[in-house]
Amino acid sequence: MDGLIKKHDGFTTTLEAQREKITTLEQLCQALLAQEHYASEHIKSRCDGVVDRMGRVVQMTESRRLKLLDSRSYQQFLCNIYEVLKFCFFLVLQPTNHSTHSPLVRKKEHVHEWPTF
């Protein structure tokens, strides 16, 4: 799980570098629109499309990161539960000298309870 989170962090770093390129693209778009470029409608629609897609990618990236963190928390929770269950199971199986539920005590009681013929 930690490997997936590290991999995701690497992707986030790459995404941040792309954000700088998107910012530069938006500035260039604004400059061209300010000059009333002959293809300004096409430039505006393409720039808006790129910015919208980048926004969706950022939202999906943040959503995935939250899911990864939730998965790691759930995995840790399950590990803790299994550890406690294993400990409880170990305690139940451990014979104690003071317990009447001990297999050793039951075996002795069983021998005394049924006389041999």
What are 19-68's pLDDT values in tens digits?
Answer: 889 999 999 999 988 988 888 899 899 999 999 999 999 999 999 989 99
Question: Which comes out higher in pLDDT, residue 109 or 85?
Answer: 85
Kindly tell me if the per-residue pLDDT of 109 is higher than 60.
no
CB 15 within 8 A of CB 58: yes
Quote the CA–CA distance of 97 and 102 in Å, as a whole number: 7
Q: Rounded to a whole number, what is the distance in angstroms from the first to the last CA of the chain? A: 64
Instruction: Tell me which CATH code domain 2-113 carries.
Output: 1.20.58
According to DSSP, residue 47 is labeled H
Amino acid at 76: Q
pTM greater than the 0.85 cutoff: no
DSSP class of 72: H
